Each structure stands twice: as C-alpha cells, then as structure tokens.
Structure 1
Amino acid sequence: MALASINLSIKQYFNFMCRTDFERRIFHDTYKEFQKRSRIYSLDQQVHTFSQMQLSNEEVGTLNQKLQYSVMNSIASLENKMPVLNDLKNRPVLFDWAELHIYASDLLNKAAHVVSITYTSPKLILHEIVGNLLILSYSAKANETLVIKITENVKVNYEQSESLVYR
C-alpha cells in the first residue's frame, strides 16, 4: 500500500571550487552569461554585484532565467539523472525539472559567483519510511523500488496522501 505521492528536491551549488567537468561548465557558462546580461543593470558600472543590482532594479530577477538558458544543453546532458542524489544501489534518482538560481555574483570578481540548480523528481510513490530511509517507486514503475537516505539536503515535497477505498 502506498502512503503518499511525493517528489524529492535537492540543490547543487556551483562556485569557484568546482570539481567535475559538469560543475566547471555550469560555473563558467553562467558567469560568462552574467557578465553579458547584467551590464544593463549595472547603472553605467556604478553597481557590480548581483545584490546591488537587485536593490536598484526589480527586473534583475529575470537574470535567473537568462542564465538557465545558457546552460540548458549542459543540464540536458545529464539525461534527467540527478548528479547529487543516488539510491542505496548507487543509481541516480531521475528529475523532471531543474531550476537555476543566482545566489551571488560580481562583475569584478569571478570568485564571488555562486549559483545553484534545484533538481525536482517526477511523482514518486512513497511505500514505507524506515528510520531515515524512504522506500519509493516511480509511479509508472511501481514494481521497481528505490531506497533513498534522507539527509538535510533532500527536501520531500508532499503531494497527496493515499487512502484505501472500501465498497
């Protein structure tokens, strides 16, 4: 019996301390795009950080989308497999949605550039909770279970509880 329908979300942060090729590509491509796209918000170079730009112009939030467009091919290369969340058999959890967010950036200092990608899984069926482990299945593959260890980085999004119907 299923307990609930849920999805999982997890964030991956990208800064100058990148370790993998994927992380480096996201970091460098988003910084390059930030330099190009944020010039119109820099008020003739009077402001140079993302937070200063946010204070001076509310439309700066659109940079999140513009930077995401610059890395869509890199995200697509993941083939919908989260690079930061695996089940106990070391199989990557799938994602349906990936959203980029700028935390900080500076036109004058590349080392201050920090972005994240939040990966969100498709609908999962929660079968059981055992301690800090979730026993799940993808809704389309109910016979194939995955066991995920809950950590402080994994967010469980509750969608709907399941109940038995008696007739």
Structure 2
Amino acid sequence: MLPRTITLCYRKVIDATSTKPWEKLVFEDSYMEFKMQAQLYNQNQKYHSFAELLQMVPGASQLHFLVSAAVIGYLQQLNETVPDIVNNLGKHFLKFNQYQFEIINSDLQDKSKHQIAFNFYSEPLLWHDTVGNYLLVSAKSQVAAEEVITNLFQLQPYVNIHSLHN
C-alpha cells in the first residue's frame, strides 16, 4: 500500500493551570489583551464573561482575532514547530504551516477562568503505517528520495488527523 498524505491538527489548550514558561506568558498576555479589547464591547460594564459578550453583543466574536494579536510573537518563538509533540526519540519533528487561535472561556473579573487554544495544522505528511497507537510518518518533501527519514510517534490527546489526501 502506498503512503497516504495527511495533515494533522494539534489543539493546545492554555489556562491558569499551565506550567511551562511559554504557556504562562501566553496566558498572561492573552488575558490582559482580552480585558482591554472587551472594553470596546462592554462599555457599560454590563457583562463579565466571554460567553455573555458573545451571546449579547453583536460583533463580539471579533475578540478571537483582536486578542490573537497579543500572542502572535510567541508563535514565532516556536520556529514553526508544533509544541508538545515528539517522536519516540523525544525530538520535536512536526512542522506547522497554519494555526487558529480561539478564546474558549474568559471572565473579566476572574483570571482563573481564562482559557485559550491554538489549533496547529501540520505541513502535509506521508502516513506509512500505524503500529498500535503509533503513526509512522515522513515529510512529504522526501517523496523522490531513495531513503526516507521517518518519525514514529504516539497518538495522544488533542492530536487529530485533520485531512486525508489520496
């Protein structure tokens, strides 16, 4: 069977319990930006939660985009490498070429309720085989090579095969 081309999506959720330094910085800056941008949609300070703003204020869905500006610089620090996903040698290998930022939840009065997510979409990969709950993949750019460098990695929560190409 010939390998199929896949694109993976990894959803990274960041909240008050996140412990890595990068995550903490993203958390803090996205919350500060949320509070600042929410003022535009909450001039009477009538609403406290992100859900209330979405439900009651037309255009509040723009907050995803507006808050994302505060965290774009942190994405550049990743050098287009998906965080947290490593191969069986413990090395980061998965490159992303696009992402989506979203606010999952937030509260203007309670920072502990702030929760955001990045959906990282990988560059196309060749999917060679599945061994138990491990995927054997290689970079699609290696198609013409005699020897193909592969990565074996364990599927984990928040990793999904986003698209499949024949």
TM over 0.5: yes
Deviations 1:106-160 (A, max 9, x none): 1111111110111111000111122211111111134211112122321012331
Give the % identical residues: 21
The equivalent residue for 1:46 is 46
Q: Which runs of 5+ in 2 are unaligned?
A: none
Question: Which is worse superposed, 114-123 or 36-45?
Answer: 36-45
Partner amino acid, structure 2, of 1:22? W
**1:151 aligned residue (146, 153, 156):** 156
Give deviations 1:43-88, integer Å, cap 9, x for gaps.
5101111000011124111111111111111111011111121111
**Equivalenced residues, count:** 161
CA distance in 2 between counterparts of 1:43 and 1:36 reads 11
Matches of 1:10 and 1:58, distance apart in 2: 30
SS across alignment from 2:83:
strand
> TM-score scaled by structure 2?
0.91
- RMSD, matched Cα: 1.4
Q: Which amino acid aligns with 1:71?
A: V
Uncovered stretches (5+) of structure 1, i.e. residues with no partner: 162-167
Deviation at 1:5, TM superposition (A): 0.7
Contact 1:68 1:99 in 2 (8 A): no
What CA deviation, in whole Å up to 9, does each residue of 1:4-49 have, x standing for no partner? 1101111111111121110011100100100110112125101111
Tell me how far apart the structure 1 counterparts of residues 112 and 165 of structure 2 sit (CA, whole Å): 42
* Correspondence for 2:16: 16
> Shift of residue 2 of structure 1?
3.2
